[in-house]
Structure 1
């Protein structure tokens, strides 16, 4: 391979849907690996809802936007094919923020070796961002207690499905909000959720009342949208709301009106937003907490794999249409 393909961000996102003209595919010369550097052939890369924010021009966010004309940001997994770095050998499998490109030149910073004998898709679906985010958000932010009731939106997604299973394994009553009857069936009958609600159905408030007759203690928010009002209004005193994502607002550009703050006062609620970029230094401890659940067979998952680097350009729209089933991954 004397050259490789990469995809640059061509324009910033204001509203969706995302079309190929947001990006530009370029052919680049294979880089020369200098002393202290290594070259990775990326095999799979992760597509995540956070990318909608990274494509925005907002400089006041938790991470700077992707600069126009540079490689689109993403997390991936690959194999070291050349190395002049003392800590990495040819053949090592590594993960890190490699971007939308076939080859990634690195000085080693931000790359982690993968020792688990799992397929790439399983690593990205479990032990990469989804597992870390779910563990940090549920346990360190939500502080769940056995017997409590948790509602998680985006419950069939990569993070939401893990959050629900972790909570269920720790003795909580778990209700998932999803976008189709198929996904509702999957999280109840395959993942073990106590109940599910298709947010496109009627009588959402009545369904919540039936599934959570004693109210809601924890609300793990991944999607935003009108459903959040129904959940918020049924929160118990001293409930916790963990705000991880707002996918329904990302494409719209203009966020929907949030619920009134009155319940925060009356019920002494705690609302906390979090992003994993603040907690990557704690990744070893988070994985130590998360791994036993996987090893004991308490966590199931499914991956939705797209083929080819350029499929990422329109693949992001699957998040807003709800057509993705499980962790969204691109196989290069």
Structure 2
């Protein structure tokens, strides 16, 4: 009897689908539906992946929305919610993958994934699931692409990054520091300020919640700012733009402070942009999927040389994905947000 029950339990899995749009820009359980599905059997050329670790990212709010002019199509209602993750191949009828391989790719909010292998890459020996999602997945790819393709950092310059304790911001700052730049991070707590300065080696931190922004920026950037890597938006953006050097570069990666706002905050005055001939570039990683081997070639040596540290904020259980996503927007995470399944 026990064996029958066990076999029945193992034949189904959970997947969470998107059933409503976040019209009020708020994330809640009303947007999702948990389904119990039968575990599929791979056909020729396919693999079955049991997901073990799933990434939560601020971009998910945009993926849920109806916006069809964005850089990536929205998740359709009724489809499994989009996400990247790491899992183990448990069945394979694809000669390129073996049972036991650990793989990373777009998995979705699901305990199992059936795939032909497209878009999935095997983890290298010595790379843990957490390291894969914190460093070699979207955060590392985004940081490396934005910083080097558009930030054009040069030794001796000053870089400031918002969301500096986040998964992308912490990578940007460490890469720039390794290249000999002065690096200042903007964060929302003293704990995060302490981490980026004393653990990651940033030259200074601005707490946007408690510091006098203009005074603190003046103190920390005596030579002003050459590169501004923007992840958050918010009032400090205006102060940073006013502190930019001539021919400075602004890389706009995210605006998490505005994603849920009823009225997004106005942008900075454009007159200084003209006077100082500042280059502003918005970007999104889907434009650069074809460059991933080259991006990883750039990033990997920094990791191998021990120049990149990371930390994960891990929560347990697929059922807690929605709560974890809200933690990102509330600033309650203390590292890359990961769901351990």
Does residue 220 (structure 1) correspond to residue 229 (structure 2)? The answer is: yes
Tell me by how many angstroms 1:317 deviates. 1.2
Does residue 204 (structure 1) correspond to residue 213 (structure 2)? The answer is: yes
TM (norm. structure 2) is 0.95
Indicate which of 182, 191, 200 corresponds to 1:191: 200
Aligned equivalents of 1:32 and 1:253: distance in 2?
Answer: 46
Partner of 1:64: 73
Tell me by how many angstroms 1:293 deviates. 1.0
Tell me by how many angstroms 1:132 deviates. 1.0
Tell me by how many angstroms 1:99 deviates. 0.2
Aligned equivalents of 1:17 and 1:310: distance in 2?
Answer: 18
Residue by residue over 1:311-332, the C-alpha shift from the partner in whole angstroms, topping out at 9 and shown as x without a partner, is: 1111111122111011100000
Structure 1 segments of 4 or more deviating over 2 A? 14-17
Within-5 A mapping of 1:170-319: 170-319=179-328
Match of 2:226, SS state, is strand
CA, structure 1 residues 62+243, in 2 after alignment: closer, same or farther (shift >3 Å)? same
Tell me by how many angstroms 1:10 deviates. 1.7
Q: Please tell me the root mean square deviation across aligned C-alpha atoms, in Å.
A: 1.0
Aligned equivalents of 1:256 and 1:70: distance in 2?
Answer: 32
Aligned equivalents of 2:23 and 2:209: distance in 1?
Answer: 25
Residue by residue over 1:3-38, the C-alpha shift from the partner in whole angstroms, topping out at 9 and shown as x without a partner, is: 110000121123343111111111011112111111
Aligned equivalents of 2:338 and 2:86: distance in 1?
Answer: 11
Aligned equivalents of 1:112 and 1:6: distance in 2?
Answer: 22
| Equivalent pairs, count | 332
Residue by residue over 1:206-247, the C-alpha shift from the partner in whole angstroms, topping out at 9 and shown as x without a partner, is: 100010122110000000111111111111100000001011
Residue by residue over 1:142-164, the C-alpha shift from the partner in whole angstroms, topping out at 9 and shown as x without a partner, is: 11000111010000000100100
Does residue 74 (structure 1) correspond to residue 87 (structure 2)? The answer is: no
Match of 1:61, SS state, is coil
Does residue 327 (structure 1) correspond to residue 322 (structure 2)? The answer is: no
Partner of 1:38: 47
Residue by residue over 1:287-317, the C-alpha shift from the partner in whole angstroms, topping out at 9 and shown as x without a partner, is: 1111111111111111000100011111111
Within-5 A mapping of 1:144-163: 144-163=153-172
Match of 2:54, SS state, is strand
Aligned equivalents of 1:251 and 1:97: distance in 2?
Answer: 25
Aligned equivalents of 2:24 and 2:204: distance in 1?
Answer: 33
Aligned equivalents of 1:15 and 1:270: distance in 2?
Answer: 33
- Is 1:132–1:287's contact at 8 Å kept on the other side of the alignment? yes
Match of 1:248, SS state, is coil
Partner of 1:123: 132
Match of 1:151, SS state, is strand
Tell me by how many angstroms 1:140 deviates. 1.3
Structure 2: unaligned runs, 5 residues or longer = 1-9
Match of 2:259, SS state, is helix
Tell me by how many angstroms 1:283 deviates. 1.1
